[in-house]
C-alpha cells in the first residue's frame, strides 16, 4: 500500500507498506527512516507519532488491511506528534456537559 504522509507543516513523503503493518509499525519505520527534508520537524521518539486517517486517530495496533485501503492506490494520512490520543467522543461529552446549547456563555444579552 502506497501511503502519502502529510505533516502539519504541509510537507509530504510517500512510503510503501504491506497491509499487515500496523499504525505503530508505520510510526516506528518513519521515525527510523526520517526523511532529510523533514529534519526541521523531527521528534524525540516514535511513540509520539500518530496517524490520522479520514479525520480519526489510528491506534497503534490497527493494520492497513483492517482499514480496507485499496491496493495499488495512494492513500493519504496525516502524521502528527502527539503524546496521547484524545478520548473517544470527547467533543460530544463537552457539548452534553454544557447542556447541549450552542450559546457562547451563560450570560443573557440585551440590545439597548
- Comparing 70 with 102, which gets the higher pLDDT? 70
Is pLDDT above 50 for 69?
Answer: yes
Where is 24: in which H helix or E strand? Answer: helix 23-32
Q: What is the pLDDT of residue 76?
A: 96
pTM of the model: 0.74
CA atoms within 13 A of residue 58's CA, in its CB half-sphere: 25
pLDDT band at residue 44, thresholds of 50, 70 and 90?
very high
Most confident of 25-39, 63-77, 96-110: 25-39
pLDDT band at residue 33, thresholds of 50, 70 and 90?
very high
Sign of the torsion formed by the C-alpha atoms of 93, 66, 71 and 82? positive
Radius of gyration of the chain (CA): 19
Alpha-carbon dihedral angle through residues 85, 17, 3, 74, given to the nearest 10 degrees: -140
Amino acid at each position: 500500500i502506497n501511503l502519502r504522509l502529510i505533516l502539519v507543516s504541509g510537507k509530504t513523503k510517500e512510503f510503501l507498506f504491506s497491509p499487515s503493518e500496523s499504525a505503530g509499525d508505520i510510526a516506528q519505520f518513519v521515525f527510523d527512516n526520517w526523511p532529510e527534508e523533514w529534519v526541521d520537524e523531527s521528534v524525540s521518539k516514535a511513540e509520539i507519532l500518530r496517524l490520522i486517517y479520514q479525520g480519526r486517530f489510528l491506534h497503534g495496533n490497527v493494520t492497513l488491511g483492517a482499514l480496507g485501503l485499496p491496493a495499488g492506490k495512494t492513500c493519504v494520512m496525516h502524521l502528527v506528534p502527539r503524546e496521547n490520543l484524545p478520548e473517544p467522543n470527547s467533543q460530544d461529552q463537552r457539548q452534553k456537559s454544557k447542556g447541549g446549547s450552542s450559546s457562547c456563555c451563560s450570560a443573557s444579552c440585551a440590545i439597548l
